[in-house]
Amino acid sequence: MSSATVHVEAMRELILCGGVFNSPQLLMLSGIGPAAHLRGLGIAPRVDLPVGHNLRDHLMVGLRWRRLGPGPFRRLMRADRIALAMAQAWLFRTGPASTLPLGLLAFLRTRPALEAPDLEFLFRAASLDPRPWFPGVTPTYEDAITVNHPLGTCAMGRGSDAVLNPDLRVRGVEALRVVDAAALPDMPSAHISAMVMMLAERASDLIRGRPPLAPANV
């Protein structure tokens, strides 16, 4: 990798969209973050902001049951069968390897008075960590489960605990916006990918100076 320093100047503004961990890291390396923390790392602080303080994620409790016998998905993952299934998917766009082994989702309110669901059930029929196996060559896999919805490390808002203004500009810095999941201030009652896309659409309107869309009646 080259160690040369490249100097680039932006005519209008910079858009940082490295994701919920890399965006705050780049800000902090640039001296934008909690001043005492940066000093402790040998970085000269330029703007004292609570970058990285608001990290949130959807917590998950995994409940696993061992099947009485191997399920159809695990049988399919035997190396020779999955190889055939993948060839079938590639050639004819059909067969078990042409679909995802998804389970069922259910969103629930733990109390009827709640405005939005605060609990989600994720029923999965297959492991999240499947891989081909073959008797006597590689052992089969165990089932495992996780969730990845981190956000909020450069939260937008109006208070002193906000890193970004409501127009996604880094407070106290000229012409620098963060446009990714780091900008979302709080956790929604949903998976967050659609919100990140909505945020990016909104950011493009803000950057081009377009007025916001009228609220949709959905």
Is 56:187 a contact under the CB 8 Å cutoff?
yes
- Smallest separation (angstroms) from ligand FAD to the CB of 79: 24
Q: Toward ligand FAD, which CB reaches closer, 20 or 176?
A: 20
User: How far is 209 from 199, CA to CA, in rounded Å?
Assistant: 15
Closer Cβ to ligand FAD, 61 or 68, answer by number: 61
Q: How far apart are CA 32 and CA 35, in angstroms?
A: 8
Least spacing, CB of residue 191 vs ligand FAD, in Å: 3
The CA distances from residue 78 to 67, 69, 134, 140, 195, in Å, are 17, 15, 6, 8, 38
Q: Closer to ligand FAD at the Cβ: 148 or 204?
A: 148
For residues 47-72, b (16+ Cβ closer than 10 Å) or e, as one string?
Answer: bebbbbbbebebeeeeeeeeeeeeee
Measured distance CA(11)–CA(9) in Å, rounded: 7
Give residues 10-29 in contact with ligand FAD (rule: CB under 6 A): 17-20, 22
Residue 201 touching ligand FAD (CB under 6 A): no
Per-residue contact flags (x/-) with ligand FAD for residues 180 to 199, judged by CB under 6 A = xx---------xxx--x---
Binding track, positions 105-134, relative to ligand FAD; x by CB under 6 A = ------------------------------
For residue 148, state whether it binds ligand FAD (rule: CB under 6 A).
yes
Q: Which is nearer to ligand FAD, 86 or 187 (CB)?
A: 187
Helix (H, G, I), strand (E, B) or coil at 92: helix
DSSP label of 15: E
Annotated active-site residue 149? The verdict is yes
Would you please indicate which residues are annotated as catalytic (active-site) residues?
149
Residues that bind ligand FAD (CB under 6 A): 17-20, 22, 148-149, 180-181, 191-193, 196
